[in-house]
């Protein structure tokens, strides 16, 4: 992965191998291709000799300097990784405190730590570290949960912007919490502060950072708050994020709290929180009828396998989700998931699929190509950002990682020359990320 490059007066042209996904193909490999980057993009997959005259014309028309980059045979470009569900506020204890099931875990660890984010210096330290870490891990787009604190949530948006990460940032909303009573809001405060957070974040006009309406999950919100948040999202045309059907215990609790609803999914649907800009984390225990509602409304799921294993929550049947044509991305779910790396999410997603195959030999295990798509294009679709990122289609932002599988001192030993497909598989299973490559304000032309 290369260092960040920024310029508005030049055109970049790269020659080498590019790997990405399309709607029709889980993995498309473009060998010895040219990719041009400017304020608008051109992408050609023909050999350099066939494109040279076109490049000269483009250079002449643009009246700009053209910088050429040549990739080595062990290198390739791939889209940036998309983390569709991560709790930025939980990063301080990532890798620890995984000895309880979900609901007990929230009360013992999560709520007490999140209540500390009223201290902006503490918030700045944690949020700076998590944004820096996710970028170093190759996450160019992240959908963040913050806390109930407006000022700290705005700070997270500022930090993501300063680092150049594309981010959806949510101020958490919760007016029901009997176990950690000092960590909750009143209905009115939650409404008012959510509106203030949205207004102030939008007024910043950050190019890559936007607010997302964030009811923590149904058990921590009254029906009145859910209804108000649905209205706020609708009136401002905003994204929505929350959790759903992570554990059997949680599903049972929701049924007790919302007896008038037919299902967990129906709770969100009745409060206008299930839209084509909604992403719900987990969904391990959704019924086919609930998945049909997801498909009908255009809502998406974030698959968080590390967290599902770590908290013994369940195993998502990804094949069934895809069968129902529900949009699906991957999430790290820090700190329920112990790793902030999307490469770990890819590996755990493959493991989860193999667990289902062990349980039922007729189950078709996911291929690494399929999980690659879920981690890139699938994530952008789940966040309704696929018009901007997710692959190298013409007109999208140049949101990319430059991978060198043979980097000196790296975790991969190449014994012989390998095809790009093998290099990608080795990277997904063995690789590490260290630096971000994401030219500011540049898009594919």
> Strand pairing of 81-87 and 42-44?
unpaired
Cβ-based burial of 29 (10 A; exposed 0-12, middle 13-18, buried ≥19): middle
Distance from C-alpha of 398 to C-alpha of 40, rounded to nearest angstrom? 9
pLDDT number for residue 30: 93
Q: Which of 211, 99, 210, 86 is nearest to 142 (CA)?
A: 86
Terminal Cα distance for the chain, rounded = 21
Q: From 435, 439, 402, 392, select the one nearest 9 (Cα to Cα).
A: 439
Sign of the Cα torsion 284, 287, 291, 297 reads negative
pLDDT at 181: 78
Q: Residue 401 burial by CB count (10 A; 0-12/13-18/19+): exposed, middle or buried?
A: buried
**Residue listed under structure tokens 């405060």:** 189
Omega into 113 within 30° of 0, i.e. cis? no
Q: Which two tokens stand for residue 162?
A: 């300063």
Length of the chain: 445
- What are the backbone dihedrals phi and psi of residue 443, each rounded to the nearest 5 degrees, phi first? -140, 165
Instruction: State residue 69's pLDDT score.
Output: 78
Query: How far is 263 from 44, CA to CA, in rounded Å?
Result: 48
Cα(69)–Cα(404) distance, rounded to whole angstroms?
14
Q: Are 199 and 150 within 8 A, CB to CB?
A: no
CA dihedral for 186, 108, 338, 324, sign (positive or negative):
negative
Helix axes 420-430, 342-359, angle to 10 degrees: 90
* pLDDT confidence of residue 68: 66
Res 441: pLDDT: 46
Predicted local distance difference test score (pLDDT) of residue 1: 30
Q: What pLDDT was estimated at residue 5?
A: 38
Residue identified by tokens 């483009």 is 58
DSSP helix/strand/coil, 192: helix
* Strands 239-244 vs 209-215: parallel, antiparallel or unpaired: parallel
Distance CA 399, CA 443 (A): 8
pLDDT in tens, 2-20: 223 344 455 778 889 999 9
Taking 70 as the pLDDT cut, the residues of the chain under it are: 1-10, 39-68, 435-445
Question: Rounded to whole angstroms, how far apart are CA atoms 382 and 279?
Answer: 6
Contacts of 195 (CB under 8 A, 6+ apart): 232
Question: Which residues fall within 8 angstroms of residue 400, CB to CB, at 6 or more apart?
Answer: 77, 78, 79, 80, 140, 392, 437, 438
User: What pLDDT does 11 receive?
Assistant: 73
Cβ atoms of 359 and 346 closer than 8 Å: no
Element of type H or E holding 433: none
Indicate the pairing of strand 166-170 with strand 443-444. unpaired
């Amino acid at each position: 992965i290369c260092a960040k490059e920024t310029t508005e007066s030049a055109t970049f042209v790269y020659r080498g191998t590019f790997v990405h996904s399309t709607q029709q193909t889980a993995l498309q490999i473009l060998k010895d291709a040219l990719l041009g980057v400017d304020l608008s993009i051109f992408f050609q997959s023909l050999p350099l000799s066939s494109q040279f005259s076109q490049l000269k014309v483009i250079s002449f028309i643009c009246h700009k300097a053209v910088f050429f980059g040549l990739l080595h045979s062990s290198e390739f470009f791939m889209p940036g990784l998309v983390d569709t569900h991560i709790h930025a506020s939980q990063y301080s204890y990532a890798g620890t405190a995984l000895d309880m099931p979900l609901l007990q875990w929230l009360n013992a660890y999560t709520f007490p730590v999140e209540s500390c984010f009223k201290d902006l210096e503490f918030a700045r330290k944690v949020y700076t570290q998590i944004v820096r870490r996710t970028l170093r891990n190759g996450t160019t787009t992240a959908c963040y949960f913050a806390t109930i604190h407006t000022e700290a949530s705005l700070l997270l948006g500022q930090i993501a912007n300063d680092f150049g990460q594309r981010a959806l940032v949510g101020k958490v909303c919760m007016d029901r919490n009997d176990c950690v009573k000092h960590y909750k809001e009143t209905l009115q405060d939650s409404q008012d502060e959510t509106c203030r957070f949205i207004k102030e974040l939008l007024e910043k006009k950050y190019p890559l950072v936007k607010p997302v309406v964030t009811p923590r999950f149904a058990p921590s919100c009254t029906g009145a708050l859910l209804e108000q948040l649905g209205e706020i999202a609708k009136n401002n045309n905003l994204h929505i994020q929350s959790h759903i059907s992570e554990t059997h215990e949680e599903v049972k609790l929701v049924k007790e709290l919302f007896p008038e609803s037919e299902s967990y999914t129906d709770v969100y649907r009745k409060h206008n929180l299930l839209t084509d800009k909604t992403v719900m984390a987990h969904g391990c225990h959704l019924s086919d009828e609930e998945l049909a509602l997801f498909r009908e409304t255009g809502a998406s799921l974030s698959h968080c396998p590390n967290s599902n294993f770590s908290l013994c929550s369940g195993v998502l049947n990804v094949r069934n989700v895809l069968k129902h044509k529900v949009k699906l991305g991957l999430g790290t779910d820090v700190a329920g998931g112990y790793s902030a790396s999307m490469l770990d999410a890819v590996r755990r997603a493959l493991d989860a699929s193999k667990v289902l195959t062990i349980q039922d030999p007729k189950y078709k295990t996911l291929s690494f190509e399929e999980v690659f798509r879920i981690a890139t294009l699938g994530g952008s679709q789940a966040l309704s950002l696929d018009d901007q990122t997710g692959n190298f289609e013409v007109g999208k932002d140049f949101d990319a990682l430059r991978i060198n599988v043979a980097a000196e001192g790296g975790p991969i030993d190449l014994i012989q020359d390998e095809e790009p497909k093998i290099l990608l598989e080795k990277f997904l299973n063995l690789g590490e990320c260290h630096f971000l490559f994401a030219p500011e304000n540049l898009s594919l032309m």
